[in-house]
Amino acid sequence: MKKEWDFFDRPKNKKIMAVLFFVALALLLLIDFFTYKSSYFGWDGMPTFYAIYGFVGCVLLVVIAKNMRRFIKREEDYYD
């Protein structure tokens, strides 16, 4: 059976979507330098603070979840 190519299966479209994603990311980071932020603390008014904060939070979440496997993991027949 021949597989039909979807829009996202074509290598050319994948490359275009990746370029568009990174261009949009760069534009959002650039816009962040020119917007006014009312900050309570000094560091949350820094440009790109929330992008860095979100990235570090995501990485920490993955690392903590991988380490929690040691404590939460059960045997294969635990519920039988």
Is position 2 within any domain?
Answer: no
- pLDDT at residue 51 is higher than 80: yes
Rounded CA separation 67/70 (Å) = 6
Tell me if the pTM is above 0.85.
no
Over residues 29-43, the pLDDT tens digits come to 999 889 888 888 888
Is position 78 within any domain?
Answer: no
Q: For position 1, what pLDDT does the model report?
A: 65
Is position 79 within any domain?
Answer: no
Is position 44 within any domain?
Answer: yes
* Structural domains counted in the chain: 1
Which domain, by its residues, includes 15? 7-72
Asked if 25 and 48 touch (Cβ cutoff 8 Å), the reply is no
Is position 24 within any domain?
Answer: yes
- pLDDT at residue 23 is higher than 80: yes
Query: What average pLDDT does the segment 44-73 reach?
Result: 92
Residue ranges in 5-48 assigned as alpha helix (H): 11-32
